[in-house]
Each structure stands twice: as structure tokens, then as C-alpha cells.
Amino acid sequence: MKQYGQFYINGAWVDPVDPQGKLEVIDPSIEEAFAEIALGGKGDVDRAVAAASAAFDSFYLTTPAERLELLKSVLSVYQKRAEDLAWAISHEMGAPKKMALENQVGSGGAHIRTMIDVMKGYRFERMIGKTLVAKEAIGVVAMITPWNWPLNQITCKVAPALAAGCTMILKPSEVAPISGLVFAEIMHEAGVPAGVFNLINGDGPTVGEAMASHPDVHMISITGSNRAGVAVAKAAAATVKRVHQELGGKSANIILQDAEADFRAAVREGTLECFDNTGQSCNAATRMLVPQERMDLAASVAAEAAGSVTVGPADRDGVKLGPVVSQMQYDKIQDLIASGISEGATLAAGGLGRPEGLNRGYFVRPTVFADVKPGMRIEREEIFGPVLSIIGYKDEEDAIRIANDTVYGLAAYVSSSDLDRARRVARRLRAGNVHINYPAWDTYAPFGGMKQSGNGREYGEFGLDDFLEIKGIIGYAE
């Protein structure tokens, strides 16, 4: 078992000064520990914040051209370490090895490349009359990232923070921390100045709370559960720092009546998108809305799609869905599947327990419920597993009403053969992202939520904006 007993602070690997014990990192494919990390405390946060504060005095004065070259160096080393990152992700959160390399690691590289491109044309200063309007680094940033897309969420915070001239402290998820430690090695090899990037492992109530409440942290960016987001906001309130939250979702996928020729394809694609990353995506299209009269057809197509997905250990060739990340997640998903059955939804595919032939590992059967009614737990709660709920609607107005009837507002999906109609429906959906006809992933599009899905935006220039303050220097011009 590999031991990771140090943190990366001020350009060096150091022992904790406020140790809070050790934590085993479990490989969810086999339910066994493959690594052990040290957990830090408030003293470690103080040490990292002091390093970031000292580094900020010079780093924020670097030129955009200098920071652009630094990002290019990070990307070069990141690409060199791709296999190491994929190994870590495959073991720590169960992503199948091909998916871990191409999608999980690939998404992180895409964010760095996008930020390099954005930096080439980004305007940090402009004149309005005689006033210079400057966008400057917000300061020291604390970052809390999740276990489901570890590198996607690390890079879509770190890359814009570097581009802005911020210094930072990262707390990766203690459930899947190893990829974050490899990322720290990448930052060091890339020549990121000491103190600009720091990493501490720890839990939310200890390290997360200390970062959020620290008076010398100027911004905290969290991707995680709504519970964690609320806790961070409360801890941050006393110091009036910027709080950037990317939280949960319960995204609707409206398949409109006019999707005549492509109805089967839209249902199949929507089902597979829901199951991507074993359903462990905050923007997963978990509520599929179909015309009531097509419920039986939709259930049949979705069940067929579910049956086509190969589930198994992350290191097995041909596997599309690995395990969910932990026993706690597995138990939560099983409880919600049981609630769907008991509340009267029609089980079209999957169900309770592991898939056939898998006797250990946190594997969940790809599950489809039809005839789901608004108000059922599986329709209201974020499941974070491969579970699809199909809901019938009467007409377009009913579909929009059902889609918007949620406390969440992260993403939504619309399928239609009439693009103008899809555009009209998209404008009425209260979500930060709306996808029409399953478009390709776009790292330049703003990513973030409305309502209880959070605030602030990530990706591309929008992510860079969120790490900057606006300063007006009045009378700058003669």
C-alpha cells in the first residue's frame, strides 16, 4: 500500500504540523485500500495560507505573457504524466482505465489548453473615457474539489487562477486524493513559483472549514454537495470573501413530441449520457421527460440501452461503467432504488444489488424507472448513480413546468427535430447550461448553476472572470 504522508506547501513536500491521523484510500472495484494519506488540520491551513499570501505579493504583478508561458509549461508536464494520472483515478474512484485516460485525464488537459487559448486574447485592461478599468487577481484562493471528476474540477479552478495571477491552496477530496497529489508534482516540475500552488489533504469539517473561515483567504471555490456548499458559505460569511459554488443537480432531459424520426435515438443517447461516469456527474440528465403516450416505447428503448452497458472492474477491458466510489454511495443508491420500487414507479431495467457475476466492489445495476411521478424521491433527490427516471408529460408547457420544478438548476437538455422550437424551450429552462440535441462538450461555454446548484461560473473566459476583481482608476488619462 502506497503511503502519502506529506503536503505540498511553499514549493516543497512537508510533514503535517497539525496531523489529524491517516486515512485509507479505497479502490472501489475491489473494496480494498491501495493507499494511505495523512490528514491535516488548521495549523496546516495557516501554514499554506501564509505561503500563498507571501507569494501573492510578487505573482500578481507578473504579466499575462509570463503567466501564459507558465500555463504552457503546466500543460506540457501534465501531458507527460497522463498515464500516472489515469492510474490514480482508475484506482481511487473506479473509472474504467480507457475512460480514466481519455475522459477524466483528457478533460483536465482540455481546460488547460482552453485557458491558454483564452489568455491569448483576454483584455485585462481597457479605457472608459478617462478611467482605466483593470481586472486584477482577487488574491489568495482556497479550492475544494470533488471525487467524481477529480482533474476536471482541479484544472478548471487552477488554470484560471494561475491565469489571473492568484495564489492558491487546494484541498482535493479525501475520497479520491491521489490524482491531486500527482497534480502537485506536475505543478512543481512545471516551475510554478513556490507558494503559488499549495495542497493539503483533509476532511471538510476540519481543513475545509479552516480555509473557508480564514481571514487571509479572499475567495473560496467549492465543487461538491449542497450540504458542503452551505457549510462553506456560512464559514466564509464573517470574512466577506467571494464564495464560488458548483453544487448538485437534478437535470431534466425534455424529449419533445416532434422528435419523430429520432425519438429512439434521443432516448438511447439520453440514457447513456445519464449513465456516463457511472451516473456520478452533477449535470447528469437523470430526469427524462417524454410524451405520456410514448412512455412504453421510451421505457423499452432505455431498458435496451441499459442492458447494452458493460459493468465491471476498472482494469477490465471493454468495461464502460465502473463501480460507484464508496460503500456510502452504494448504500445511498440502493436506498433510492428501493424507494422507487416502493413508491410505485415501474422498474424497466436493473434494480437492487450488484450486476450478475460481480460479488465484490461497489457495482450498481444500470437502472431505469418508467412511470415516475413528480414528488417521488427518485424524481426529487440527486442519486449520483446510474439510475434514470422517465416522467411523462401532457404537452410542452407541462414539460417545462416539470423540468423547472426542482430546487436545482445546473443543467437541462432538449431534444427536437425543430431547432427553433428547441431554442424557445431552452430559453425557458431555469438552468445554467442547456444542451440542445446532445452537443459536444464545450470548454468555452460557461459552466455553473442557478438556484441551489450554486453561483459563479467556470470554464473558459467565464472561469477567468471569477478569479478577478475589477478596479477603476479614475482620472488615469490626461
314-333: per-residue pLDDT in tens? 999 999 999 999 999 999 99
* Amino acid sitting at position 293: E
Q: Does residue 35 carry a pLDDT above 80?
A: yes
Residue of 156, 269, 282, 461 with catalytic role: 282
pTM of the model: 0.97
Distance, CA of 331 to CA of 210 (rounded, Å)? 30
d(CA 185, CA 194): 12
- Concerning whether 136 is annotated as a catalytic residue, the answer is no
Whole-angstrom distance, CA of residue 469 vs CA of residue 205: 29
The C-alpha atoms of residue 150 and residue 152 are separated, in whole angstroms, by 6
Strand order in the sheet with 125-128: 125-128, 131-137, 468-473
- What would the pLDDT profile of 127-182 be if each residue is shown by its tens digit? 999 999 999 999 999 999 999 999 999 999 999 999 999 999 999 999 999 999 99
For cell 445554467, the residue is 432
- Based on the residue annotation, tell me whether 166 is a catalytic residue of this protein: no
User: Rounded distance, CA 379 to CA 376, Å?
Assistant: 5
Catalytic residue among 92, 209, 246, 269: 246
pLDDT in tens, 78-137: 999 999 999 999 999 999 999 999 999 999 999 999 999 999 999 999 999 999 999 999
Q: How far apart (Å, rounded) are the C-alpha atoms in residues 151 and 172?
A: 10
Cell 415501474: give the residue.
Answer: 346
